[in-house]
Chain A
Amino acid sequence: MGKTLAEKIFATHLRDEPFAGTKILSLDRVLCHEITTPVAIADLVWRGKDRVFDKDKLKVVIDHVTPSKDSKTATQAKILRDWARRHAIPDFFDVGHNGVCHAIFPEKGYIRPGYTVIMGDSHTCTHGAFGAFAAGVGTTDLEVGILKGVCAFREPATLRVDLNGTLADGVYAKDVILYVIGQLGVNGATDRVIEFRGPVVDRMSMEARMTLCNMAIEAGGTSGVCMPDMTTVDYLWPFIKDEFASKEAALAEYRRWVSDDDAVYDKVLTIDVSELEPMVTYDYKPDCVKPVSEMAGTPVDQIYIGTCTNGRIEDLRQAAAVLKGKKVASTVRCIVSPATPKIFSDALAEGIIQIFMDAGICVTNPTCGACLGMSNGVLAEGEVCAATSNRNFNGRMGKGGMVHLMSPATAAATAITGKITDARSL
């Protein structure tokens, strides 16, 4: 019987099985940010165990509220900063160098096929795009990860989503994942890995694959995963070129993680995306999705383009293509937050930032910010936001506020008209 990618990673990283079904995995990466890590640090200090298992395997960023907005967030940043310095953690990203964790860590080449990755952040599933097992965990798991380099899991079954056909122009990875979540429901993949397969995924960039995997948690999934291929190798090549004689050699090494043809799946969902329309959420759960045609005309107050789902260069290009030469409607305000300094810099070089500025958009520094109602665009009671983020929970972007999730192209079109709009209709 063959193995899935997740089963291969579990088999190679199994450190202990204290009870049947409880797998203690050794970790290749423990990622840290300033919201969930400080309490772990404080507890380690309190226990007299202020140590790290391997400083090279820890990657640390201040990203959720940065630059700090008040004394409390400044304290969180300081706890993380002091800790990173105390342990001489080489890969720590502070103001001026920092970006959204699930964008900056892949961009730095830290995530590789076959890795085990945890972080005190539910969207850690994003990193599965590289063929890694990447799971969001709480602060206690994070704390043990920092101290011991292990984490406990029940081995998850794998749910395969085969994406066939060809995406129509103006339909993107975000539309696909919103549709998939609509099909699975918000707990349709609980305790499961979602494996994204098929020709549609094969043709996707790493950025688009990260968008897919990013929202696996919105269906309850432990990790999203894509199979490593030449696209993965090309993306990672600047970081791995000294490790391999050629890209083909790297591919041969990474392909060993690919799920076997006779692997066993809990469930297989087959979707032809050819007829798929851009998708938009309604209500307060990410599985409440409708085609944009059914949501068109819904007025909004704010548009937010960015986040770990859709703040990458490809996303900004899609938004800029819609916004070029256009203005943001006078009834709304639009905020763009490029997810990392490199993305910001690339967008600047490509003229994308100028397009945004000319349209009347506020371009902020890279941060999670408004996505979770922290800073840089929090909603007032009763306000509605069109957002490229991943959660439309009640009050997510501000108490009493409502969020409609959509692609960067749909968000950009919505900014121009002030109402939810299909970018293909402009």
Chain B
Amino acid sequence: MQKKFGGSAIFLDRSDINTDEIIPAKYLTEVTKEALTPYILEDLKLDGFDPKGEQLKNATVVVTRENFGCGSSREHAPWVFEVNDVHTVIAQSYARIFRQNMFNCGMLAIELPKADIDRLMALQRQGQVEIAVNLDAQQIVARAGTEEIPFSFEISQFDKALVAAGGWVEFADARY
């Protein structure tokens, strides 16, 4: 079943955020996804960021820079987003394994060029940014205050199929 995408955004204005920052290895001893919930982004090195803050608690979309999710292959990184209702990540680029893990879980890892990420980041100044995702049209619309900006994105047929199927297990099981 397809997940819900879009919603309130939180901005992590840094490149190369790694999976150890998203979910530290010491929590990988948990054997359920739900148990990861309180530890989201606990070790993120970013000035002014509070992993226990209201903004993260209310967010369902993460907007960030380059090479997001680099490092470990741990799917616990997408999972900790999933159990915190963050089903959409928007970045300039991703580490390969993290990106694949997102789609394998039926979640969205949207790539936008740097200029678009810059505009999205700048939109924060208007207030809380809300993002609507239209997967069929391959478009997102970001709203804050009175401003509204549409962005187009590319997504491969395979990634779309994974999102529609609800993940890679469902897709592969039906086909192989």
> Which chain A residues have a beta carbon within 8 Å of chain B's beta carbons?
15-16, 18-22, 24, 35-36, 38-39, 42-43, 47, 49, 64-65, 70, 72-73, 75-76, 79, 120-122, 124, 136-141, 143-144, 147-148, 150, 152, 154, 186-187, 190-191, 217, 220, 222, 284-285, 372-374, 391, 393-396, 399
A186-B16 in contact (CB<8A): yes
A395-B43 in contact (CB<8A): yes
Interface membership of chain B positions 22-62, coded 1 if the CB is closer than 8 angstroms to chain A and 0 otherwise: 00111011111100000000010100000000000000000
Chain A residues with CB below 8 A from B26, complex form: 373-374, 399
A49 CB contact (under 8 Å) in B33, B45, B173: B173
Chain B residues with CB below 8 A from A217, complex form: 71
For the complex of A and B, the 5 pairs showing the least CB-CB separation, nearest first, are: A138-B75, A138-B101, A140-B104, A187-B67, A19-B157
- Least distance between A54 CB and chain B CB atoms (Å): 14
Chain B residues with CB below 8 A from A186, complex form: 16, 67, 70
B31-A220 in contact (CB<8A): no
Given contacts A35-B28, A148-B172, contact A220 B67 (CB under 8 A): yes
Chain A residues with CB below 8 A from B83, complex form: none
- Least distance between A348 CB and chain B CB atoms (Å): 30
Q: Does chain A have a CB within 8 A of B105?
A: yes
- Least distance between A178 CB and chain B CB atoms (Å): 16
Q: Does chain A have a CB within 8 A of B100?
A: yes
User: What are 15 A-to-B residue pairs whose CB atoms are below 8 Å?
Assistant: A18-B161, A49-B173, A76-B31, A138-B100, A140-B169, A152-B172, A190-B67, A190-B93, A220-B96, A222-B96, A284-B45, A372-B20, A374-B26, A391-B20, A393-B18
Given contacts A22-B158, A39-B31, A186-B67, contact A399 B43 (CB under 8 A): yes
Chain B residues with CB below 8 A from A140, complex form: 75, 101, 104-105, 167-169
A148-B67 in contact (CB<8A): no
Closest to A75 in B: B31
Given contacts A122-B71, A122-B97, A395-B43, contact A138 B78 (CB under 8 A): yes
- Least distance between A84 CB and chain B CB atoms (Å): 16
Q: Does chain A have a CB within 8 A of B3?
A: no
A21-B156 in contact (CB<8A): yes
Q: Which of A19, A76, A395 has the most CB of B within 10 A?
A: A395
> Which chain B residues have a beta carbon within 8 Å of chain A's beta carbons?
16, 18, 20-21, 24-26, 28-33, 43, 45, 66-67, 70-75, 78, 93-97, 100-101, 104-105, 156-158, 161, 167-169, 172-173, 175-176
Chain A residues with CB below 8 A from B33, complex form: 39
Chain B residues with CB below 8 A from A18, complex form: 158, 161, 175
A120 CB contact (under 8 Å) in B16, B66, B73, B156: B73
Given contacts A138-B101, A150-B176, contact A19 B43 (CB under 8 A): no
Chain B residues with CB below 8 A from A22, complex form: 156-158
Docked pose: A394 CA to B73 CA in angstroms? 17
- Least distance between B113 CB and chain A CB atoms (Å): 15
B95-A393 in contact (CB<8A): no
Chain A residues with CB below 8 A from B172, complex form: 144, 147-148, 150, 152
Closest to B29 in A: A72
- Least distance between B98 CB and chain A CB atoms (Å): 8
Docked pose: A73 CA to B101 CA in angstroms? 23
Chain A residues with CB below 8 A from B28, complex form: 35-36, 64
B176 CB contact (under 8 Å) in A15, A137, A220: A15
Known: A38-B31, A150-B176. 20 other contacts (CB 8 A): A19-B156, A19-B158, A20-B157, A35-B29, A36-B73, A36-B75, A39-B31, A39-B32, A73-B29, A136-B97, A138-B100, A140-B104, A144-B168, A187-B66, A190-B96, A191-B96, A220-B67, A220-B96, A374-B29, A399-B43
Closest to B67 in A: A187
A395-B20 in contact (CB<8A): yes
Given contacts A122-B73, A147-B173, A190-B95, contact A138 B20 (CB under 8 A): no
